[in-house]
A and B are shown apart, each in its own frame.
Chain A
Amino acid sequence: MLSLQPRGYISTFWSWGSPVLALILTAVISGGIFAFMGRPPILTVYTFLISPLFAPDGLASLAVKAAPLIMMGVGLSLAYRANIWNIGTEGQFTIGAITAGGVALALPDAPAWALFPGLMIAGLAGGAIYALIVAWLRTRFNANEILTSLMLTYIAQYLLVYLVTGPWRDPEGFGFPQTALFSDAAAGPRLAEGSNLHLGLVLAPVIAVAASLLLGKTVLGFQLRVLGQAPRAAKFAGFVENRLVWLSMAISGGLAGLAGMFEVTGTQGQLTTNISPGYGFTAIIVAFLGRLNPIGVIPAGLLLALTYLGGDAAQISLGLSNAITGIFQGILLFCLLGSDVLILHRFRWRPRQAAKPKGATA
């Protein structure tokens, strides 16, 4: 029978081969689901994954969706390297959007040179401070950050709903749950005239490169890596775990807040009740698909951005629900986690026979 054996080492080939295998498996499985639904599987997968790239403005739309995913994925890859499991980026994204949006609404007449940097700082600080609540709960009360960061996400989302349906609602908006439009100055510089290509598109890869240098070259990055790989050795070296928890929550939360700021100022121009199609959660898949490597996060972010475009394309041209975006992402994460088994294990055929009990050490 087929059995799984530990390799005893980390396979470099499968570290990077696993995401590719996962993508192929995901395409096959979702093709199977389409076939089961009575749709032509190859055409549907093509429509979902390939056709958006050739649509007019396809690449521009891809970049706009990828930017927040990459920013957040980079922050998460730093935190996850240190075994600090921030899964509340969706909430930090939302708070960053709220703080930046609030500043933009409060200062409608501010000049662009002053307003735009201010918005960036507001978004960054909002997300970071919100994430620091999680750090505080963990370092002070030893509360599990997975739970607290997730729960704070829901609080952030309800805060947004409260603001845009209550105090911040546009008085001239016919009662729609949305704020007034931000000033033109708040939108920041454009990469091409009249497009929605905002500054975040350039900033995202720059942040990824900077994070890669931080992780590989600096003492701080070294500390994060040691904490993740051997917490006892980190203690031995005198690296203070709590300080690293604060720092990596601040970085991952800050980048999520910045992503939220660019999303609402750069592409949407106002706050509404649904500013994010789940970017914060998708960023978790991005971080893992990118092997927790800030450079690897760039292609991973582009791929997951494609699943959002693909969902729209499938809805428009095939009449499928755009819920297939979530289904596809779910299958992808599932296949990725499954394929990652191959990094530490290999398959072997073994004749059907009772396994000899292996002796433990004395």
Chain B
Amino acid sequence: MNGPLLRLNGIVKQFPGCLANDHVDLTVERNQIHALLGENGAGKSTLVKIIYGVMRPDEGEIIWQGENVTIQSPAHARRLGVGMVFQHFSLFEALTVAENIALGLNDAKDRVGLRDRIVKVSTSYGLPVDPDRTVHDLSVGERQRIEIVRCLLQNPKLLIMDEPTSVLTPKEAETLFTTLRRLAREGCSILYISHKLDEVRALCEAATVMRLGRVVAHCTPAEKTSRELAAIMISAELKPASERRPAPVGGKPRLVLDKLTMRATSEFGTSLQSISVTVRGGEILGIAGIAGNGQGELMDALSGETLAGKPETVLLDGVPAGHMGPYERRRLGGCFVPEERNGHGAVTTMSLAENAFLSAHLRGALVKLGVIDHRKTTAYANSIIHRFDVRTTGAKAMAKSLSGGNLQKFLVGREVLLDPAVLVISQPTWGVDAGAALAIHEAIIALAGEGAAVIIISQDLDEIFLLADRIAVIAAGRLSEPVPVREATLERIGLLMGGVSAPGSDTAHAETPTAAVETAHA
């Protein structure tokens, strides 16, 4: 047969407030391992969900083996020969491997002789799994094999892998690559989603790079250096230095992390590995990184939601605080804005006044003898609403009645007005409109101007370059040495984000292809 296996022409997918795919073209040849490369939010997931029939495009055509098709559902996609391995597995822990696979089959008659076929497929592709083991007892790598075997049983012609190595150890990743190469040789094309540059260069024959919903390049990864790929992938534009406020000098250290190490608390979590950094008063430290590299864990470790083993690993204004919970850390001047607004930073079913009370009752002195001081609480909520121009009907309004941007302004305002010594904000302007983003940025800069130490954890490089005095990158639970923003280049930050941990001046080839994959496999 001739012609490409899959061709997408002008795919458009619009979400409220965001054009996820803007006339995307993609061609996957037969026997090809094709990389889909891009930052978070570039539109990769939307695109593969369209290919796998989870979503339908608003515009554009899908040409599968030369025929124009409308993919109705994942079941339809599987019948066409498209298989997908998701980043997070959908397995029942209490069931055996064979039972799990049987549950995912389209047709009951496929269950006949299933055990034998599992053994046959898994051994022939070097993916040994015992069909009678209970999933509960298996490692993450073994669980991924079940998902792959589940796909292979349907004889797919295209296998979509969504960031498969993010949960694997380097050795497991190596094994996976061998399998994928073999699959490609034997006629199953692979669409490989990743942001890990070295991995893509080692494995993939072709790459489509996406940025902000658009395809920005088609290229052959092996012919590019990691630096070149990073430059294509990253979208920030440097602001001229003259617009920036002068970098602060010689503030006292307000937040010190000293070899902060923390094991992942969940299966898909990231362990923090020996993170050391000092943030001084008046300084804004930006922490860049691609989602899922330990940002959430770092935020929890800073806020005290997870406790560090040794008190000295976290110093708040010179006081050892690693063993302290959120309440005691607030007493020392720590204020925090978590990434997730709904149910974490705010209780959506409670009023704004109650949400103001949630984290501000200690520093705002809103309690009298164990009783909520309603007058002061309402006054505090109103002052946030006025100072930050929160569009709402008033302090009695439920948090969930606010738009995302307005609630974010309220939550940032709640912490900023508490006169923090250290403010940590994760994704300060996630899902926030331009006006609200500006207000939040101004508040952050003003707070640093008053002598607070501010840490911004963000995936938005524009924002980091705009606000930060120094930039560090978190990748696979490690934090890079912070560099002053004037010395930070997109290339350097991009390489660090892509998991190339030694951005020396010579070459980016020093790292092994799997260096990026050392996520915590604890």
Contact = CB atoms under 8 A, between A and B. Distances in A.
A141 interface: no
Interface stretch (A58-66, A193-201, A230-238): A230-238
Contacts of A226: 347, 350, 358
Interface string B321-346: 00001111110000010101001111
A361 interface: yes
B73 interface: yes
A233 B347 contact: yes
Given A362-B15, A362-B45, A237 B371 contact: no
Contacts of B270: none
Interface in B173-214: none
A235 B371 contact: no
A78 to B, nearest CB: 16
A233 B346 contact: yes
A220 B371 CA distance: 8
A236 B55 contact: no
B326 A359 contact: no
Nearest to A235: B305
Contact of B372 (A10, A218, A232, A237): A218
Contact of B343 (A217, A225, A232): A232
B496 to A, nearest CB: 25
A225 B330 CA distance: 21
B409 interface: no
A229 interface: yes
Interface string A318-362: 000000000000000000000000000000000000000101111
Given A222-B357, A360-B49, A229 B350 contact: yes
A233 B343 contact: yes
B336 A10 contact: no
Interface residues of A, number: 22
A2 interface: no
Contacts of A236: 303, 305, 326, 336, 338, 344-345, 358-359
A233 B370 contact: no
B321 to A, nearest CB: 13
B329 to A, nearest CB: 8
A103 B354 CA distance: 45
B56 interface: yes
A362 B374 CA distance: 41
A230 B13 CA distance: 33
Given A232-B343, A236-B338, A357-B73, A219 B326 contact: no
Contacts of A10: 349
Nearest to B303: A236
Contacts of B371: 217-219
Most buried by A among B49, B347, B349: B347
B304 A238 contact: yes
B370 A237 contact: no
B348 interface: yes
B326 A238 contact: yes
A232 B349 contact: no
Given A226-B358, A233-B358, A219 B347 contact: no
B340 to A, nearest CB: 8
A361 B374 CA distance: 39
Contacts of B37: none
A218 B305 contact: no
Contact of A233 (B13, B325, B344, B374): B344
A240 interface: yes
B413 interface: no
B54 A360 contact: yes
B46 A238 contact: no
B358 A362 contact: no
B20 interface: yes
A359 B45 CA distance: 12
Interface string A190-231: 000000000000000000000000000111101001100110
A225 B329 CA distance: 23
Contact of A219 (B18, B344, B346, B367): B367
A80 to B, nearest CB: 16
Contacts of B13: 362
B372 A233 contact: no
Contact of B370 (A220, A229, A240): A220
Interface string A260-278: 0000000000000000000
A230 B371 CA distance: 21
Contacts of A220: 370
B359 A237 contact: yes
A238 B49 CA distance: 39
A235 B326 contact: yes
A217 B46 contact: no
14 contacts: A218-B372, A222-B372, A229-B349, A230-B348, A232-B344, A233-B347, A236-B326, A237-B358, A357-B56, A359-B56, A360-B49, A362-B13, A362-B45, A362-B46
Interface of B: 13, 15, 18, 20, 41, 43, 45-46, 49, 54-56, 73, 303-305, 325-330, 336, 338, 340, 343-350, 354, 357-359, 361, 367, 370-372, 374
Closest 8 CB pairs of A and B: A238-B327, A238-B326, A362-B46, A359-B55, A230-B343, A230-B347, A232-B344, A362-B20
Interface of A: 10, 217-220, 222, 225-226, 229-230, 232-233, 235-238, 240, 357, 359-362
Given A222-B357, A237-B358, A238-B329, 9 more contacts: A218-B370, A218-B371, A229-B347, A233-B345, A236-B338, A236-B359, A360-B54, A360-B55, A362-B46
